Amino acid sequence: MWGVVSQKVLGQSLQHLRPAASAWRGFASATKEMNVRDALNSALDEEMSADPKVFLMGEEVGEYQGAYKITKGLLDKYGPERVLDTPITEAGFTGIGVGAAYYGLKPIVEFMTFNFSMQAIDHIINSAAKSNYMSAGQISVPIVFRGPNGAAAGVGAQHSQCYAAWYASCPGLKVLSPYSSEDARGLLKAAIRDPDPVVFLENELLYGESFPVSDEVLDSSFCLPIGKAKIEREGKDVTITAFSKMVGYALKAAETLEKEGISAEVINLRSIRPLDRATINSSVRKTNRLVTVEEGFPQHGVGAEICTSVVEDSFAYLDAPVERISGVDVPMPYAANLERMAVPQVEDIVRAAKRACYRSVPMAATA
């Protein structure tokens, strides 16, 4: 393969890349099913039960049991001192949450949609993310900001934006984005236990989806490592990276590609910051091709960062140009037909993977 040079030449520059681990591949001995809503609810319940410092606050999280019923039953079980209904003022209750974290409590702040977190971004960035560094490590801010992120269905531009790239660009934050029920339980538990501020980006359209879960996942001690991606499907011809709902699209694309003789490896990022560069680069060195998938805007996106990492660390292994699939560079349209055109579809991923494998006419040639 023409792109690969000898390890002797690249050895020094590549030593810092760890080989991809396979410990988290597949759903280990999964025998039951759980939807993402119940996975998040059970994680909140178990962590609140295990640690009296954990409390929940946000709009309609108590009496209404959450706009999406993620907090169902928690007010009755833990009372209004630990499940706090707030006024419609994100700047206000987010500031209260950050202050509580300064004093050693562990708040979980729910945004009805992450679009509304823009009202509170000063507290998230300037107060939560920077305090540990500015205090020389004397102040920890163990807080979780969680809620639905990205496109839903028919909710317009002001309720449809993906903020993964926004928050992932800020030092001091950890940014997680689950896909399956296993992700939701394990990553939310990890976020609540973490001593640093965590932005936890869910997806409204995934709440009702069910996934297989093992007894290990259902155990109250279950927790997933922050910063570790999961290889959802192994392959040898092209690497596809995705997060949140796009993981499902990538897996469907891989099934289609398999029928055409293309073996796609699908990586569920799980963690946007820190990003598991080692797993991504290890996969690309095996497949020699990369397609990134995300719902967010194309410029300065998560896919752009992944492509940069691969170009910096594994360029000599590439046998084709990298491909980025993203939302289009416009605010989300309201009309259903335009909305579908504005976010990635399975067929977009299939076409990109085929281009990378030289199974179709390059995009430039069809312009």
- Active-site residue list: 90, 159
Q: Tell me which DSSP letter residue 78 carries.
A: H
Answer whether 233's CB lies under 8 Å from 272's CB: no
For residue 110, the cross-strand partners are: 58, 146
Half-sphere exposure of 174 (CA within 13 A, CB side): 25
Answer whether 193's CB lies under 8 Å from 18's CB: no
91: left (phi over 0), alpha (psi -120 to 50) or beta: alpha
Tell me the pairing of strands 271-273 and 290-293.
unpaired
What span, in angstroms and rounded, lies between the C-alpha atoms of 234 and 218? 25
Burial of 162 (0-12, 13-18, 19+ CB in 10 A): buried
Residue 287: CB atoms within 10 A of its CB come to 24
Tell me the pairing of strands 83-85 and 290-293.
unpaired
